[in-house]
Amino acid sequence: MIDTNKIEELTELDKKHFLHPTSPIGQQQKEGPSFIFTEGNGVFLTDMKGNKLIDGMSSLWNVNIGHGREEISEVAKEQMKKLAFSSCFATFSNEPAIRLAAKLAEIAPGDLSTTFFTSGGSESNDTAYKLARHYWVLKGKPNKQKIISRTKSYHGVSMGATSATGLKPFRDFTTSIAPDFHYVDHFSTKSLRSLIEQEGPETVAAFIAEPVQGAGGVHIASDGYFQEVREICDEYDILFITDEVITGFGRTGTYFGIDHYGVTPDMMCFAKGVTSGYAQLGGVMISETLHKEFKELSTGTLLHGYTYSGHAMACAVALKNIEIIERENLVENAAVMGQEMLQGFQSLQEKHSMIGEVRALGLMGAVEIVKDKQTNERFESPLAPQVVNEAAKRGLILRSVVFDGQDTLVFAPPLIMTKEDITSLISILDETFTSVTKDAV
C-alpha cells in the first residue's frame, strides 16, 4: 500500500533538512525528492510509490553485484558482531583488512601488491597525490610536486581530488583550488609530453588518469594511448596513477580498466565496486618497487591515515563482494553483456535520427544526442536531461552529461545484467527516444 502521508512527511523533511550531494538545489526545494527508494533487488530499485526501475547506473557506477544480496548482509552482521572496527594506525591490524590486501594483490595488474585503505574515491586520490609527493621527498627531489590530470576527468570532491578534476565546473564551484595541479588534453599524449617539457620534469610528481573517463561522458582512450603514457612517465621519471574508482572490479569487462592496455601503473586508486556500495571503502595500491623504496627510505612515521582506513566490517564486505564477482563470472558477463548493450545502442542509432555516436567498453557506455547526424550539430539546449526524466518515467535510471557542450547519456548497469535485462533497457530507451523526438521536432 502506498502511504501518501508518509511520502508527504518525508518530502517536507527532505526539503528542510537534507542538503543533497551534487544536486539541483532549486529543484529539490521546489519539488522535493523525485524518488524515495525503499528497496533494491538485483538490477531493480523500488521507491515508496511502488515504482520499480532498472538501475541503469548501478546507482553511482558502484553496485556491481546488484542490490539486495543477503550473503553480504550476513557477512556484515557477523563481522559487526565479532569486531566492527578497530584502529589500523601504527602497527594495529585486523584479519579482514589483511586478507583483503592480500586478495587485491592477487587480482591487481602487474606488481601492484600493497594497499593503503580509505573510505572512498576522493580520499584514495588525495592519498595517491600525497604518497607521490612524499615519495619524491624521500628520493631527495622535493620539487617534484606537480600533479598532471586530463580534461574531462573526474577524480572526486575533496580539495585535492577537485583540484585534479578536469571538468572545470567542479573546480569553479570553489573560489580557490589547491596549487600545483595541471591539465592536458584527455586523448593526446603529445599534450602530456609538451606540458611536462614546459613545466620541467623536475617539477612533476605524477600523472593521473581514469582508464575510461566516467563522469566526464564515458570517453574511451585509443588502443595505444596508455602504453605511450607509461613510456612518457618512465622517460621523465614521473609516477603514473590510474583512477580505477569506476573501472575497477569488472566494470569494463576486465578486472581493472587498465588491463585492456596491458600496462601497470605505479599506483592504482579504487573504491565503489570493491564493495559494490554495500560498505564505504576505497584504497590505493602501490607497486612492489614503490613499496620497497618506501620501506628503505622512510625514517619516521607515514603521517597519513584515515580513522576508517582498514575498517574491519567494510573489508569483510569487500572480500565477500569479490568472491561473488569471481563465483558468478561477473567480469566475463560484463564483457559479453557490454557487447549486447552496444549492439542495442547501434540498432537504436539506425532507428532514431537524434542518436549520434554510441560507445561502450564492458558495461560502461554512452549515447550522444545530436540534432544532425551528418554534421554532429547539437541541439541549442541539451536534450539528455529530458531523456533521463522520460526514461525514469518508463522505468529506467540513466544519467546525462552536459559538460563542455556535450549532450550525452551514460550507462553503467550492474554486472549481473542478463540478455533479457539488456533487452528491457534498450526497449525503454527506444520508447523514450520516440517520445522525446516527437517533442523535439
Task: Give the binding site for ligand PLP (CB under 6 A).
Answer: 60, 120-122, 125, 154-156, 210, 214-215, 243, 245-246, 271
Residue 80 Cβ, how far from ligand PLP at the closest point, in Å? 22
Of residues 245 and 429, the one with the C-beta less far from ligand PLP: 245
Of residues 247 and 386, the one with the C-beta less far from ligand PLP: 247
Query: For the residues of 17-64, what is the DSSP string, one character each?
Result: H---SS--HHHHHHH--S--EEEEEBTEEEETT--EEE-TTHHHHT-T
Q: Which three cell numbers stand for residue 341?
A: 548493450
Q: Which three cell numbers stand for residue 162?
A: 577537485
Q: How far is Cα of residue 12 from the mean position of the Cα atoms in its chain?
A: 31
CA angle 62, 386, 372 (to 5 degrees): 105
Of residues 241 and 335, the one with the C-beta less far from ligand PLP: 241
Distance CA(141)–CA(128), nearest Å, equals 17
Question: What is the number of the residue whose Cβ is closest to ligand PLP?
Answer: 121
Query: What Å distances lie between residue 350 and 109, 216, 345, CA to CA?
Result: 38, 25, 9
Residue 114 Cβ, how far from ligand PLP at the closest point, in Å? 20
Of residues 338 and 344, the one with the C-beta less far from ligand PLP: 338
Of residues 410 and 429, the one with the C-beta less far from ligand PLP: 410
Using an 8 Å Cβ cutoff, are 363 and 415 in contact?
Answer: yes
Residue 87 Cβ, how far from ligand PLP at the closest point, in Å? 22
Distance CA(248)–CA(61), nearest Å, equals 10
Give the alpha-carbon dihedral of 284, 285, 289, 295, to 10 degrees. Answer: 60
Of residues 246 and 388, the one with the C-beta less far from ligand PLP: 246
Residue 295 Cβ, how far from ligand PLP at the closest point, in Å? 28
Give the residues across from 399 on adjacent strands. Answer: 410
Of residues 66 and 214, the one with the C-beta less far from ligand PLP: 214
Residue 23 Cβ, how far from ligand PLP at the closest point, in Å? 14
Of residues 251 and 352, the one with the C-beta less far from ligand PLP: 251
The helix/strand/coil state of 3 is coil
Give the residues across from 207 on adjacent strands. Answer: 148, 240
The helix/strand/coil state of 105 is helix
Residue 149 Cβ, how far from ligand PLP at the closest point, in Å? 11
Using an 8 Å Cβ cutoff, are 62 and 277 in contact?
Answer: yes
Complete edge-to-edge strand list for the sheet that includes strand 44-47: 37-41, 44-47, 52-54
Residue type, 24: P
The per-residue b/e assignment along 112-147, b for 16 or more CB within 10 angstroms, e otherwise, is bbbbbbbbbbbbbbbbbbbbbbbbbeeeeeeebbbb
Distance CA(374)–CA(367), nearest Å, equals 16
The burial of 425, by beta-carbon neighbours within 10 Å (0-12 exposed, 13-18 middle, 19 or more buried), is given as buried
Residue 265 Cβ, how far from ligand PLP at the closest point, in Å? 14
Residue 58 Cβ, how far from ligand PLP at the closest point, in Å? 11
Of residues 124 and 386, the one with the C-beta less far from ligand PLP: 124
Residue 344 Cβ, how far from ligand PLP at the closest point, in Å? 24
Residue 209 Cβ, how far from ligand PLP at the closest point, in Å? 10
Residue 347 Cβ, how far from ligand PLP at the closest point, in Å? 29
Of residues 144 and 152, the one with the C-beta less far from ligand PLP: 152
Helix-strand-coil percent breakdown of the chain, rounded to 5?
45, 15, 40
Of residues 66 and 156, the one with the C-beta less far from ligand PLP: 156
